[in-house]
Amino acid sequence: MPIALEEIASQLAAPGKGLLASDESTGTIGKRLEKAGFENSEETRRSYRELFYTAPIGDAGISGAILFKETLRQSAGDGTPFTQCLLRQGVLPGIKVDEGLVPLEGRPGETSTRGLEGLEAACRQYAADGARFAKWRAALKVGAGRPSERAIELNAQQLAEYAAVCQACGMVPIVEPELLIDGDHDTAAFAHASARAISRCGVVLEATLLKPQMILPGRLRAIHPAMHALAGADYSGPRPSPDDVAHETLRVMRRCVPPALPGIMFLSGGQTEEEATVNLNRINQLAQQQGRAPWALSFSFGRSLQASVLKLWSEDPSGNRQRCRDMAAALAQANSQAVLGRFEGPHPSVTSQQGSLRESFRGWRTDV
């Protein structure tokens, strides 16, 4: 394994650093843009993503940005390729390489991920276009007998095959076994399913990063009155405390993730922008107190780094562009502090009190 890949993985998971997940498919980002009052056009998508890539996110704690294939070859308004906008501030470009979810035959409600066919040629081209790392998402739904052994085995096999191809093509793979929060499950069930999914990713770990959920209870049932489910914006009950999230998350990661892995880059999983930061901060504080975390505990956040920016942009698309860039950097800085266990607030978000960022259309998306 070339040492360069290990160095890239370590750079992405460096202390106080994390990832901007801006790899939403055309359909997914389009729904967000339309909800905010914008047309889902190529130019709108380009202009929106330019807000982030031309913001000073490198100095604010972003080590890498995951791009969608359309975005990888786009440029800023002045003609500078987005990859160069990122690289010149020390942010490594990455690429989403999976092609979305497809139904798993014979298993209603379960999916596998498409994209292995032709993956090697695609990865070589992505690397030539400037991508230094890649991401593949598998989605597992918990509850009512799910995920099945078949779903776990197939998705884990796909993740492993993707990672091997990715490394052979000179890119660091991020493996994302996401457990959807829609199911009727408690923390124990979530933890068990997480452990099974994570343990199946057997690739060269020193040049691999993991992107799992924080361990959160499902949205329909509580373990006890103080541990109610995470839910969408219409849920008014109490949410799990940062201490609960930190203890459960670290317990599962210690049981499942080998120490050779450089970093665990948590996704934000439908939390508010502030919740994701506060929970990440507590995870790192507890890990430092206990002294038993051999990997970086960082972030690969999408909506938790974008929602406030989109809100500001929707209020004044022309006049608020600098405010949007400042917000992108401020959100990155807050999470950079959380990676160090030093976030004290206040949080810069302008959406944190408006409910979770969970999107009902996202979980079973099959668009690319």
How does strand 172-180 pair with strand 133-141?
Answer: parallel
Q: Provide the residue type at 153 as one letter.
A: E
CB 264 within 8 A of CB 212: yes
Instruction: Report the C-alpha gap between 241 and 8 in whole angstroms.
Output: 34
User: Which residue among the candidates 17, 69, 211, 273 is catalytic per the annotation?
Assistant: 211
Total Cβ atoms within 10 A of residue 149: 8
Q: Spell out where the chain has E strands.
A: 18-22, 62-67, 92-96, 101-103, 111-113, 133-141, 172-180, 209-210, 263-266, 296-301
Q: Spell out where 257-304 has E strands.
A: 263-266, 296-301
Instruction: Report the C-alpha gap between 122 and 69 in whole angstroms.
Output: 10
User: Which H or E run contains 20?
Assistant: strand 18-22
Instruction: Report the C-alpha gap between 166 and 134 in whole angstroms.
Output: 7
Instruction: Report the C-alpha gap between 182 and 147 in whole angstroms.
Output: 12
CB 95 within 8 A of CB 360: no
Measure the CA angle with vertex 166, ends 118 and 264; round to 5°. 135
Q: Spell out where 159-227 has E strands.
A: 172-180, 209-210
Total Cβ atoms within 10 A of residue 283: 28
Whether 344 is catalytic: no
CA 307 to chain centre: 14
What are residue 173's DSSP bridge partners?
Answer: 134
User: Which residue among the candidates 110, 176, 178, 275 is catalytic per the annotation?
Assistant: 176
Measure the CA angle with vertex 335, ends 36 and 3; round to 5°. 115
Whether 135 is catalytic: no
Total Cβ atoms within 10 A of residue 71: 24
Total Cβ atoms within 10 A of residue 166: 30
Instruction: Report the C-alpha gap between 57 and 152 in whole angstroms.
Output: 36
As given in the structure block, the two tokens for residue 37 are 């009052």
Catalytic residues: 176, 211
